[in-house]
Amino acid sequence: MNRANARHPYLRYNALVAALHELQEQYPTLLSLQSMGKSYEGREILVATVSNHGQEPDSKPAFWVDGNIHATELAPSVACLNFLQRLCGGYGHDPKITDCLDTRTFYVCPRVNPDGAEWALADSPRLIRSSTRPYPPDRLEQEGVVPEDINGDGRVLTMRIPDPDGHWKAFSEDPRLMIRREPDERGPGPYYRLMPEGMVPRWDGVDLKLTKAPQGLDLNRNFPAPWRFESDAEGSGPFPTSEPEVRSLVEFVVAHPNITGGVAFHTYGGFLLRPPSYKSDDQLTRQDLRAFKTIGDRGEELTGYPAFSVFHGFREDPNEFITGAFDDWMFEHLGLFAWTVELWSPLRQAGVIADNYFEWYVDHSRDDDRKMLRWADSLHSQALVDWTPFDHPQLGAIELGGWDTLFTFRNPPPHKVLDEVDPFVDWLVYHARISPLLELRSPKLETVGDGVYKLAVVVQNSGYLPTSVTKWAEQKKLVGEVRSKLTLPAGGLLLSGPLEGRHGQLAGRSHHHSAALGWSVDNSNDRVGLTWVFEAPRGSEVTVEVAHPRAGRASVAVVCCG
């Protein structure tokens, strides 16, 4: 994604696929594409593997990035494409990106839900929450308003329906904006009921409501941990990973044990959200909570978005909680640090300060309304659309207008989206560069007798995070150990030390311990020394290899020349 494409950054499926293939052709030694599965409607779900392909990408510590699991959340695809472009274009020019791609790998899926996005971007859009699969069965008969473009202008706006008992009235300072009717307000009005633009298939002349779409699935409630059945968690599906998009993602991640963490891009709100979603922080280990805070603090510094847990800071109802989400699954089942990024804050863009994100949409001050109006006018002429008469087939004379929510609230306007997503490149690179990384240090070969040698090496985790990534993964044994292997030449004979060894987990700098006077105690539990004694022919080569599922591989070869 480059600035020349800034006018049309929201790409439909075929254009998105073409853009990915263009990147692959332009950077064949850095980027490769594969399909991780097919969507409900049969579209390939593409994943880009980005790394210096001179070394097997799957052998390096890796980081997962995805976007657009929800149908109308289109800016995440732009964030992923922009990230891919910045990585490939920065290799060899930006030292951090170059080091990152030499030592780490990124797996990036720009559009987890291609079907839902295609509905949202259609010439006549249909706006749904997530998957296009009809579910559950008892919702297939629709009653109420079905949101869709009914006048053919390519937008789904709002219907303003005259009603003396309606809850809304036009703002006296600007009739484009609707405000709530006062509790004791009576009189001639006019007053209105507001509904999304759409048809009312079974209108009886009385009961006007927003229907629950037959496409009732929420793909970000279908992940395995902790999953709840539909009756307890709306949109969760009949069983964990029942949906092909989620199953494909889960299978890909599980098949790549080198993944050390993940970020899922969503919209909107302007937040960096972390798990747990369903339980309090006091159930996390001290080490993992500290690492989450460190990563979140860096994210706040680089992006300007506040970072906090979903459970403590992002619940609409304090008696409810989210389950079946991607980041909870990554942390709970795999023991990885994962984040949900809610891109774009219309309120902050307008200069509105909301103490409670959810309550603001229920009620707010007139001064905030004025700020939103000024912001709308600063965007473009169609951000807040004038009300125009429309003869509705079921409702009769109504008006269409209001916010173009898809490209003002749900996503940034096209001309603003690149500026919004670009700061996340540095945070994603930071995520990868703090991952564990095995290195072999200080190889020392000594001759201790005729054809007898002693070899010593140090296995070092040079990353910030431990090889297990989280303390949770170490405690629950969710990841394998550091392993070593000594390969002797033909005619060699091992005298001491194992040919193959297991060495547990190595700490990282994140697991330091506080001590007196504010200093740290730097225990050397981030490294382990290995020693062998063996016989080998003079001039022959001996190889030491070490590997860890999340910390990569390293090897060193020495020549017996003494």
Q: Model's pTM, two decimal places?
A: 0.94
| Distance (Å, whole) CA 147 – CA 158 | 9
Predicted local confidence at residue 3, as pLDDT: 31
Angle at which helix 95-103 crosses helix 75-90, to 10 degrees, equals 90
Predicted local confidence at residue 2, as pLDDT: 38
- 3-class SS of residue 423: coil
Position 541, amino acid: E
Tell me the sheet residues that pair with 274.
309
Predicted local confidence at residue 521, as pLDDT: 60
DSSP secondary structure of 530-556: EEEEEE--TT-EEEEEEEETTTEEEEE
| Distance (Å, whole) CA 348 – CA 360 | 12
Tell me the sheet residues that pair with 460.
439, 527
The residues of the chain that CATH labels 3.40.630.10 are 3-121+220-344+415-433
Q: Given the DSSP bridges, would you call strands 158-162 and 396-403 parallel, antiparallel or unpaired?
A: antiparallel
Q: Specify the CATH number of the domain 438-559.
A: 2.60.40.10
Taking Cα atoms as reference points, which of 340, 321, 369, 203 lies closest to residue 269? 340
What pLDDT, in 10s, does the model give residues 19-50? 999 999 999 999 999 999 999 999 999 999 99
Helix H or strand E segment including 254: helix 244-254
Distant-in-sequence, close-in-space partners of 490: CB < 8 Å, separation ≥ 6: 537, 540
Taking Cα atoms as reference points, which of 518, 470, 552 lies closest to residue 62? 552
Position 57, amino acid: P
| Terminal Cα-to-Cα distance of the chain (whole angstroms) | 57
What DSSP character marks residue 148? B
| Distance (Å, whole) CA 349 – CA 369 | 13
Q: Among positive and negative, which fits the CA dihedral 374, 376, 380, 381?
A: negative
CATH code 3.30.420.40 for 3-121+220-344+415-433: no
| Distance (Å, whole) CA 198 – CA 494 | 78
| Distance (Å, whole) CA 464 – CA 229 | 38
| Distance (Å, whole) CA 331 – CA 15 | 34
Predicted local confidence at residue 323, as pLDDT: 86
Q: What is the pLDDT along the chain (562 residues), one digit of tens a residue?
A: 333 344 469 999 999 999 999 999 999 999 999 999 999 999 999 999 999 999 999 999 999 999 999 999 999 999 999 999 999 999 999 999 999 999 999 999 999 999 999 999 999 999 999 999 999 877 666 667 888 899 999 999 999 999 999 999 999 999 999 999 999 998 888 999 999 999 988 888 888 888 777 888 999 999 998 888 876 668 899 999 999 999 999 999 999 999 999 999 999 999 999 999 999 999 999 999 999 999 999 999 999 999 999 988 888 777 788 888 999 999 999 999 999 999 999 999 999 998 888 888 888 889 999 999 999 999 877 899 999 999 999 999 999 999 999 999 999 999 999 999 999 999 999 999 999 999 999 999 999 999 999 999 999 999 999 999 999 999 999 999 999 999 999 999 999 999 999 999 999 988 665 555 555 566 779 999 999 999 999 999 999 999 999 999 999 999 998 6
Q: Are 80 and 108 in contact (CB under 8 A)?
A: yes
| Distance (Å, whole) CA 57 – CA 105 | 6
| Distance (Å, whole) CA 450 – CA 285 | 53
Cα-based angle 468, 469, 470 (whole degrees, multiple of 5): 90
The residues of the chain that CATH labels 2.60.40.10 are 438-559
Cα-based angle 527, 465, 498 (whole degrees, multiple of 5): 30
Distant-in-sequence, close-in-space partners of 94: CB < 8 Å, separation ≥ 6: none
